[in-house]
Each structure stands twice: as C-alpha cells, then as structure tokens.
Structure 1
Amino acid sequence: MTKQETQIMKGVAILLMIFLHLFNQMSNVELCRSFIYIGDIPFVYWLSAAANPVAFFLILSGYGMHFIHVRGKGDIHRWSRIGKLYLHWGGILVLFTIPSFIYTGRYYVDFQQIISNYTAFNTSWYGEGWFLFPFICLSLLSPWIFKLTDRYKVRWILPISFLLGTCTSFIISRYGAQYLYKNHWLYNPFLILHLAPSFIFGAMLQRTGFIHKMQEKYNSRWLWLALILVVIIVCVTRTAAWGPLYAMAFIVLFLSAPRWQWVDKGLMLLGNHSMNMWLIHAWFCYYIFHDLTYSLGYPLLIYIALIVISLLCSYLVNAICSLPLFIIEKCQNKK
C-alpha cells in the first residue's frame, strides 16, 4: 500500500465516519425524509452498520507504523506526529467549545475536566474524540507490539487478535461500557486492548504484502461485486465482531478494484483532512447545530453538507495551527 493509497483509504474512512454519526441513530433518521426502505427500516440506517471507520484508521496506522518498524531505523517522527495531533485537537477544542458552551450554558470552570479533555484522557466535551488517547498509546507501544508479533507466524497472530477483538466486543455489547467509562484509568487500557486487533491486522497486511499480491493477481470489476456482497453481509448480521475482518476485506478489495482517477483524487483530498474532519463534524450534527443540520431534510443533502462544512473548517483549523508551528520554526532558524 503506497502513501497515496493510504490517503485514499483515509478518505473512505472519514466518509464512513460522517455517515455513521449522521444515520446510526433512529431518532435522527426519523428527522430525515427517507425514500428508500429495507422492510420498515430506512436504507441509511440499515447501511450505517457497514460504517466501521475506527477499524479502518487503525489498520492503516498499523500498516504504516509496521512499515517504519521493518526498516529498522526507528520512528523518528513519532513524537512530532503526536505533538501535531494534540495541537490540532487543542485548536479544535478552542474553536468549538466556546460557541458550544455559550449555547449550552457550560463554561471552563472545572480544572480537572479541562486537563482531561485537552489531553484526550476523557473527552467528555466531544465524545467522538474517545479514540485519540488509546490511539496515541498504541502509537507509543507499537515498537513493543511489533517485536512481539514478529516472533510468531501470521497464521497464529490473526486468529488470536480476532479472538481478543471478539471478546472485548462481547463485553461492550453485553454489558456496555458505562461501568468502565466511570473510571478512565480502567476504561482507556480496556480500549487499547479492544483496538489493538485492528492495529495488528494492519501490521500483518504490511508484513505479508497481501494487498500488493492482490493488486498484481486481480484487477477486475468483479471485485466491486465482492465488495458489495461483503457490505451486505455486515449490514444483515449487524455485529461488531466482524469489525477488523470487515475493514481489512474492504481495504483489500477497494484498493485492488479498478477506480476512476478523479475518485482517487477526491478521496486523497479528504484523506489529508480526515483527522481534522473526525474531530470537527460531530460539533455540527450533535452538539451545536443538530437541528439546523437535520433541517435540510434529505439524507444525501445532509450528508454532503456535513462533508463540505467539515472540510472547510479543517482548512481553518490548519491555518490556525500553522501559526505556532511557523513561530517555532522561525525561532529555531534564528538559533
């Protein structure tokens, strides 16, 4: 998987993320004017089961970090990536919590909440940012994870990882995460265990070179039919247990199937802004402009509007965050 293909798949992942958060709750879907139904279920709600963006991002991250690992030079940019991620997260919080708190009547009065949210240890102000802290921990732990997995054959790593993901998914589905959520010192380690299988799946894809082998052997439009069948199976079964396997199959089939060049260019654009858009879009559909967003009525119109506004806000966030980086660079050059 090339760097360009990684950005393409990040673009797909953020489209899935936005679709999921718009249409995975029936209370929100009922606000839309749906024309297509599967039985009594609106099509967009039925299709939301196929949106599993977290697994996509983790597989892509595991793939990229394992590529760096096998080069043997160490990930010299690990801390700068984490620092940039925190810079953008902090910029987004500053930009959106002020209007959000004015709207809800909440303010910066709890020092512990401020620290917890800005470190992403407990993203109580923006629940959709729950992924940040466990992801950062996985990034830091990746050298030791890869040293462990590289000792064993892929045919053992994959089923063990899948079993771990299935067990943690079962705990969440059967008992919920509310008990764990009350204690983030327990909740975050649990999330790291829950997310690790997808991360490891990505590393195994890189280790085996499976995507490249598929691309060399198959390049048929029939792969799109296979991808559609995979999506239908996930929508019918509606279980999170398939998460890592589904995301891996989707990535392999999508990257192996023939695509129009303009589609790839559009997805790469979204991929470059994917993390910002992840941390931005829910402010509009959940926290500040919920009623305005769904007042557009039609699911496709709502979906396109949220993609566009999230992308435009991402450009704004990039511009804001580039200022301190520019100042730091100038200071370093003077020295």
Structure 2
Amino acid sequence: MELTKQQIKITKGIAILFMLLLYLFCTKNYQDLYTPILFIKGIPLVYYLALFGDCCVAIYCFCSGYGLLISYKKDRECYFKNNLIRIGKLYINYWIILIIFVVILGPLLGKANSYPGSLKDFILTFTGIDPAYNGAWWFFTTYIFLVLSSSIINKAIIKHNSLLVIVISFGFYIISYIQRIKGILVFENWMFSWIVRQVALWGTSQFPFIIGAVFLKENIYSKIYNISYKLKYKNLLGVFTIIVMIIAHGIIETLFVAVFTGVIFICAFNIIDKPKWVNNLLDYLGNHSTNMWLIHMFFYMIYFKDLVYGAKYSVLIFVWLLVLCIASSYVVNFVYKLIIKLINNLNLKNINYVNSN
C-alpha cells in the first residue's frame, strides 16, 4: 500500500498550511501582530504549532523525491525531457506571479523603487538565478536544481545500498546545514557567494528528497502501513505521534530536526483515517499549493500586512490569508491556462506547417 498520487497531493496541501502557519506566527514578539487566545508558560500556543510547521519544505521535498522516482521508473528515456517540461510550466506560473505582484502591483502601491527596483534584481529574479522581492522564493532555484539533478540521484538510489545512500546524504545535510545557518564560508565575490549558498540550500533539501525516493524503493511506507493496519487504535496512535512531535519540537527549537519531524508526520498523517471532506479540502489546497507558496508573502509581509493581521486573532488571520491566496491563485491559473492554450495552438500550427511541407 504505497502512497497514492492523491495522498502525495494531499500531503503537499498540508505542507502549504504549515508554511502559512510558520511565516505568520513563528515569533514570540506577537504584541503588535495579533491577539493570542491560549498560552503555554507565557508563549502563545500557536507559536509551537507554527514552529512545527518548519517541516513544510522537508515534506515538499520528500513528496517530490517520491514522485520523481515513480516517474523515473516509468519512463527513463523521456525523464529528462519531462522534467524540462515540468520546470518550464513552473517558470510560466512564476513569471505570471512576478508580473502581477511585482511589475504591476509594486508601482501601483507606490513601491516601484523596490518592486521591481533595479534591472539587475529583476533579471536575476526573472531567470530564477537569484530571486529577490519575496523571501519564500529561495526554494524556486533549489527546487529546479533538485529536479535537474534527480536523474543522477535516482540512478544512485536504484544502484546502491539504500542505507549507504542515506548515510552519505545525511553527512552532506549536516555540512550544508552548518554552512546555511552559521555561514562558515564567506566570500566577497558575488559568484562564489551565490554558489556556496545554492550548494548549502540544495544540500539541506536533498536529504528529505532522497529519503522520499528511498521510501519508494524500499516500500517503507507500505511496511509501516501494513503494521499499523493491524493495530486497533492506529488513528489514535497517529494523532498521538504528531502531538508528541509538536511537544518535542517545542522543547528542541532547531530547524535541524525539521527533516525528521516532516518524514514522521507524513507517515503518521497518512495512516490516519480521515473524513472524506478533510481529504477533499486538502486535495483542493494541494491543487493551489504552488501558487500559495509563491504568493503568500506578498500579502502578509510586503503589501498588505495590516490587512492580513487586521483580523486580530490567529485563526481568523490564518483563514483570511488562505482566502486571499486562493483567490489570487484562481487569477494566476486563469492566465496560466490562457498561456498554455496559446502555446499548444502555436505548436499545433507548427506541426501542421511541417506536415504540409
């Protein structure tokens, strides 16, 4: 019983909810932002829920590694070509959001000096080499590198012992994490600095990505599911596991453990039997997850901070940001479909022209 395509999408829906929680409420300086309702020793309860949300990137990387190995096994010959198409479609999505929220909204809202700002910033962002404007866009470049390097990763995973691959990956994760957080290597040269930063970001992301692929190769989730399926209180066990992780992460407040909490959460969450409406809701959010990732920071931090936090209470703030992001996502999807339709029509005309000659 491996993870299905729908389960992967639902899990990505959870990841985006965690991301919103993380960015909205993972701060102890809440006085000027919102009014907490519940506290634990003077700290808002929502802070600990938001802190647990730092596993959002790890969850997304796990799902990507898992899904891309499935694609690799199905069609190795077209795998690289399909990945280029996947990246191309992501770029179209990204450019639409860049134009709407930076090129159009920036000047309209009186922030043209920064949005779009200099030509250099715009070009580096447009190409995805070094995105500016939105702090959450760092993962755009990292994700592209993960996808482009996934052929090599998948070959290594299939060919070599899984434990050996995990150990090597974890070692690189530790080195990358130290560089990312501590900044041991510092260069004044922009190119060297960029390379080191991208290697560190890729290094911290490749570990959950590889774990996802190894899970598929070794049928690890199936084994966990088969064991849990025999348990009378498997739903209770799954919920209990998640609660324990939230408490443990509240005690150990370090991003280093996000990979482990993310992977355990994926297993615990997916073995829980959920109402159909919950699965449908998360599946719906999964459809909008990419746009929400690329959009949300423009609302809660850059342009409309007072509007978002004006809801006052954490639940209302969270729902309000969710509504704003989804509404924007529909606009982006509308433009995206028009562009894809135009591209398809142009390709069809070219094919017809070649055939006629």
Report the TM-score range of the alignment, normalised by the length of the smaller protein: over 0.9
Instruction: Check the 8 A contact 2:21/2:49 in 1, yes or no.
Output: no
3-state secondary structure, aligned to 1:77:
helix
- Displacement of 1:229 in angstroms is 1.1
What are the equivalent positions in structure 2 for 1:203-222 lying under 5 Å apart?
203-219=213-229, 220-221=234-235, 222=237
Query: 1:13: which partner in 2?
Result: 15
Question: What CA distance in whole angstroms lies between the structure 2 residues aligned with 1:181 and 1:88?
Answer: 31
Q: CA RMSD in A?
A: 2.1
Moved over 6 A (4+): 176-181
Which has the higher Rg, Structure 1 or Structure 2?
Answer: 2
- The answer to whether the Cα contact below 8 Å between 1:100 and 1:287 also exists between their aligned partners in 2 is no
Residue pairs, 1:1-150, within 5 angstroms? 1-28=3-30, 30-51=32-53, 52-74=55-77, 75=79, 76-97=81-102, 98-101=104-107, 102-106=109-113, 108=116, 110-150=118-158
The CA deviation at 1:77 is 1.9
TM-score using structure 2 length: 0.88
8 Å Cα contact 1:34-1:42 kept in structure 2 = yes
For residues 46 and 231 of structure 1, do their structure 2 counterparts lie closer, same or farther at Cα, with a shift above 3 Å needed? closer
Cα deviations across residues 186-244 of structure 1 (Å, max 9, x unaligned)? 32122112211111111111111111222222131222112221222122211122122
Shift of 1:171: 3.0
Q: Which runs of 5+ in 2 are unaligned?
A: 353-357
Letter in 1 for 2:76: K
**Between 227-236 and 91-100, the greater mean CA deviation after superposition:** 227-236
Q: Could you tell me which of 323, 334, 347 is aligned with 1:332?
A: 347
Structure 1 residue runs without a partner (length 5+): none
Between the two proteins, the alignment pairs up a number of residues equal to 335
Amino acid across the alignment from 1:216? N
Task: Quote the Cα distance in structure 1 between the aligned partners of 2:5 and 2:196.
Answer: 35
Contact 1:8 1:267 (C-alpha < 8 Å) held by counterparts: yes
Give the superposition deviation at 1:246.
Answer: 1.4
After TM superposition, the structure 1 stretch with the greater mean CA deviation from structure 2, 231-240 or 150-159, is 150-159
CA gap of 1:178–1:320, structure 2 versus 1, over 3 A, is farther
Q: Measured at CA, do residues 95 and 112 of structure 1 come closer, stay the same or move farther in structure 2, by a change above 3 Å?
A: same
CA 1:122–1:25 in structure 2 vs 1: closer, same or farther (change >3 Å)? Answer: farther
Instruction: Tell me how far 1:179 sits from its aligned partner.
Output: 6.5
Amino acid at match of 2:47: Y
Shift of 1:176: 8.1
In 1, Cα distance between equivalents of 2:310 and 2:41 = 25
**Cα distance change, pair 249–23 in 1 and its aligned pair in 2 (3 A):** same
How does the TM-score come out when normalised to structure 1? 0.93
Alignment partners' CA distance in 1, 2:141 and 2:22:
21
